[in-house]
Amino acid sequence: MGYADDFADRLVPDTYLNDEPIQLSYGDPAASVLVPERLFVRAQCIARAYELHLLPTIEIYRKTKLTCAQCERLLDETAFVATVSNDELLEAHLGRIQETVAACVRHPGRVLSIEGP
């Protein structure tokens, strides 16, 4: 068994089934997205490594609210993280995050709420 086998579970969705979720929403419960805590933190770590500004600073253990301008920044940063990662599981969650954040950008009066456990 090699190192890749030892860590293969990190790329399997079932590994994160019991994670506390990070919820991103803008008031419409049907449009909210839940991301396993460890995957959201993984995206933050990648963003931190590339010295991005917004994603690494989101405090997941309290409610964070983002304006339309901040949502535009978050869209850019999550898109960048997706392009530098070869983690298909993370990319899928980043895509769902981007859909929700983009809905806020399209409607400037909306405020995005991010809340963790």
CB under 8 Å to 41, separation ≥6 — which residues? Answer: 60
CATH of 21-115, one of 3.30.410, 3.90.1720, 3.30.300, 3.40.1760: 3.40.1760
Name the band, by pLDDT with cuts 50, 70 and 90, for residue 4: low
Whole-number Å distance between alpha carbons of 80 and 73: 11
The DSSP letter of residue 32 is: -
Q: Which residues are paired to 33 by β-bridges?
A: 24
Tokens read off for 15: 């590994």
DSSP secondary-structure letter at 20? P
Q: How confident is the model at residue 23 (pLDDT cuts 50, 70, 90)?
A: very high
Give how far the C-alpha of residue 65 lies from the chain's centroid of Cα atoms, to the nearest Å: 14
In the prediction, which pLDDT does 5 show? 75
pLDDT in tens, 26-57: 987 777 999 999 999 999 999 999 999 999 99
How do the domains of the chain map onto residue ranges? 21-115
Residue-wise pLDDT tens digits, 74-112: 999 999 999 999 999 999 999 999 999 999 999 888 899
In the predicted model, is pLDDT for residue 1 greater than 60?
no
